[in-house]
Amino acid sequence: MKISNLILLAGALVCTNAQAATISGGSLVLNIDRDALAAGVTLDNTAAPSIYVEEFFDAAAADRTQTQLLNDNTPVDWSDYAANEISATGLQFAVNGFNIAVNPAGRQNKPTTLDFDPNDLFGTATGSIGLGGAIRFRVDVDRPNNRILMGDMTLEYHPELEAATPGRSGWLLVNHIGFDADAFELFDVTTNLIGQSLTLTGNLGYGWGLDHLGATDARLSDTRIGSFSFQTTVVPVPAAVWLFASGLAGLCATGRFKRKVAA
């Protein structure tokens, strides 16, 4: 392709992407209702809850391996099943940047790749939002299968899922540690995009990644098991496109200069 054609293409990109934006910073906070969570999980061998949050690792634990997340801070007395339950509210995941460090063994922490038109978020959103952090759940079954991790998640929008069942928003939290699966469905979502502030709030439901714990019926009945809030800063993209076009223009000028000298 000729450089002149590249410049025309760059000009077209500036026009068509003039409203493009991405996001930077912020966090997602999960508040899990421990009783509602346990009520939907049928694997239950003792009088203790069928499942609960045993440990939470925030974004600072990005350098730990999957094995470390499964075994760090384990209870001394394994016979006391419920000894290590922690609060399942206020679990804060940090929004990842566009670049992340190399993942340690077993981890799949993801960068943020979301791109959208602020005037039509739901009609144009592509990519996903990487979230730093992991939850370790304790399940009421025998070792070594009594722990599962949900983490290295992405927040994703799938318009084809919106309103598939009452309250379903199309937004998902997708787990990437160990296996890729929907960790939580997001229901009753309220979205506010004001200036450079984007917020989402709503309720949590079971994702199909919990079906192996017996949560299938609860998932299909759209059970709410908690709430979430998400906030971030919207960053316009056009400036970067203009720089790209300017760079091509400079390259073209340099090319003409060289040809003139050569003549």
Indicate the residue type of 200.
L
Give 77 or 31, the one with higher predicted confidence.
31
Confidence class for position 238, pLDDT limits 50, 70, 90: low
> In this predicted structure, what is the pLDDT of residue 53?
95
Nearest-Å Rg of the Cα atoms of the chain is 23
> In this predicted structure, what is the pLDDT of residue 43?
81
Backbone angles phi, psi at 210, to 5 degrees: -100, 5
- Cα–Cα distance for residue pair 242/239, rounded to 1 Å: 5
> In this predicted structure, what is the pLDDT of residue 146?
85
> In this predicted structure, what is the pLDDT of residue 22?
96
> In this predicted structure, what is the pLDDT of residue 256?
36
CB-count exposure of residue 160 (10 Å: 0-12, 13-18, 19+): exposed
Taking residues 224-251, what's their average pLDDT? 71
Contact 121, 86 (CB under 8 A): no
Q: Among 98-112, 145-159, 219-233, 242-256, where is mean pLDDT lowest?
A: 242-256
> Domain map of the chain by residue range?
1-20+237-263, 24-236
- Cα–Cα distance for residue pair 186/173, rounded to 1 Å: 8
- The chain-wide mean pLDDT, for the chain, equals 83
In this structure, what token pair is assigned to residue 192? 């506010």
> In this predicted structure, what is the pLDDT of residue 15?
43
Taking residues 237-259, what's their average pLDDT? 44
pLDDT of 18 strictly over 80 = no
Q: Among 121-130, 151-160, 162-171, where is mean pLDDT lowest?
A: 162-171
- Cα–Cα distance for residue pair 198/23, rounded to 1 Å: 9
- pLDDT (tens digit per residue) in 179-233: 999 999 999 999 999 999 999 999 999 999 999 888 888 888 889 999 999 999 9
In this structure, what token pair is assigned to residue 51? 């499942």
> In this predicted structure, what is the pLDDT of residue 78?
59
Long-range contacts of the stretch 162-170 (C-beta < 8 A, 24+) = 162/122, 165/222, 166/222, 167/203, 167/222, 168/222, 169/202, 170/122
> In this predicted structure, what is the pLDDT of residue 214?
86
> In this predicted structure, what is the pLDDT of residue 76?
60
Residues 6+ apart with CB under 8 A from 42: 50, 213, 214, 215, 217
CA end-to-end span of the chain: 23
- pLDDT (tens digit per residue) in 31-73: 999 999 999 998 887 777 899 999 999 999 999 999 999 988 7
> In this predicted structure, what is the pLDDT of residue 46?
79
Q: Is residue 161 within a helix (H) or strand (E), and if so which, with residue range? A: none
pLDDT of 244 strictly over 80 = no
pLDDT of 250 strictly over 60 = no
Q: Count the residues in the chain.
A: 263
pLDDT of 240 strictly over 60 = no
Q: Could you give the percent of the chain with pLDDT greater than 70?
A: 80
Predicted TM-score (pTM) of the model is 0.82
In this structure, what token pair is assigned to residue 31? 């508040």
